[in-house]
Amino acid sequence: MKKIFILLFLGVFSEISAQELQCKVVVNSSQLKATTSGDKQIFTEIEQAIAGFMNNQRWTNDAFSEREKIKCSLLINLINSSGQYRYSGNAQFQVIRPVYGTTYETVLFQFIDQNFSVSFAPEDRQMIFNEQNYSNGLTSTLAFYSLTALTLDYDSFSKLGGSAYLERLFNIVTLAGTAQGKGPWTADADVRARYWVMENLRNQQFNAFRDGFYEYHRLALDDFANNPANSRKIALEFLNTLKIIANLKANSVIINSFFDAKSQELINIFSEGSKQEKQEAFNIMSALDPDKTEAYRKLMK
């Protein structure tokens, strides 16, 4: 009996001490030319190493059960090779959040990283990482994804709840920018680069985004089944907030990423709204996310 109790206790302890992320990682090398069987083995090892980092790194002191882990996915497309063990391409990172009282899962964040690169020489394969010191580009990039996921997940459950992780994200970006001196880690990067994700979230002009992000998820989505009319009202208020922010800072990566993640969800939310709500939602969404205007036009039918 005592042995059974100990095993049960260890099982519970193991569950609640699990790491925070549950990340599915896929590395696609099909666009690389003339890959040998040896190369293909390297790509498998890269995928396993990245998955190990994303799923085993511990970021918080909070207890996460297996079912509470933050779901995310990382699809990496390797397109170019600049030498042995050196590859570059793009990556799509997506963070998922459950909606309270339903089986529905919402996409919190969708980010296309056009500057993904990996050096996987033998000395890089231990995935050494120290949050206070720059180690290499790959582990810094994965830390960036992880801390962005934590920032936005915690923000979605309490106002500015991810601030502690955002400051650690700032540190990762600063260290990488100092070490590399250019690229996606610095202010002269493209407006959709990693630096600007961090900058937008830390910028005081975006505090209203983070407040509204909480209200949209916790007060609108989590309560939509009980009170859809009030949820639509909150969602529309958030769209108006995004409009104000966009007027202050055009073409921001955080707002663009929000619509990349939420476009179909927003259409579903407002599809049963009043004619006035549909019109107002359409006007804002088509103005801030013009590439999806035809999709948003469904609201006007």
Q: How confident is the prediction along the chain (301 residues), in pLDDT tens digits per residue?
A: 333 333 343 444 444 546 899 999 999 999 987 565 567 889 999 999 999 999 999 999 998 888 899 999 999 999 999 888 999 999 999 999 999 999 999 999 999 999 999 999 888 888 989 999 999 999 999 999 999 999 999 999 999 999 999 999 999 999 999 999 889 999 999 999 999 999 999 999 999 999 999 999 999 999 999 999 999 999 999 999 999 999 999 999 999 999 999 999 999 999 999 999 999 999 999 999 999 999 999 999 8
What pLDDT does residue 34 have? 57
Q: How far apart are CA 27 and CA 50, in angstroms?
A: 9
Mutual angle of helices 163-180 and 137-157, in 10-degree steps: 160
Type of residue at 230: N
Residues paired with 112 in a beta bridge: 92
| CA 159/CA 155 separation, integer angstroms | 6
- What is the radius of gyration, based on Cα positions, of the chain? 21
Q: In the prediction, which pLDDT does 83 show?
A: 84
Please state the φ and ψ torsions of residue 265, each to the nearest 5 degrees: -60, -45
For the chain, list the strands marked E by DSSP. Answer: 21-28, 70-83, 86-98, 105-119
Q: What is the side-by-side order of every strand in the sheet holding 70-83?
A: 21-28, 70-83, 86-98, 105-119
Beta bridge partners, 80, equal 88
Give me the DSSP letters along 44-75: HHHHHHHHHHHHH----SS-B-GGGSEEEEEE
**111: left (phi > 0), else alpha (psi -120 to 50), else beta?**
beta
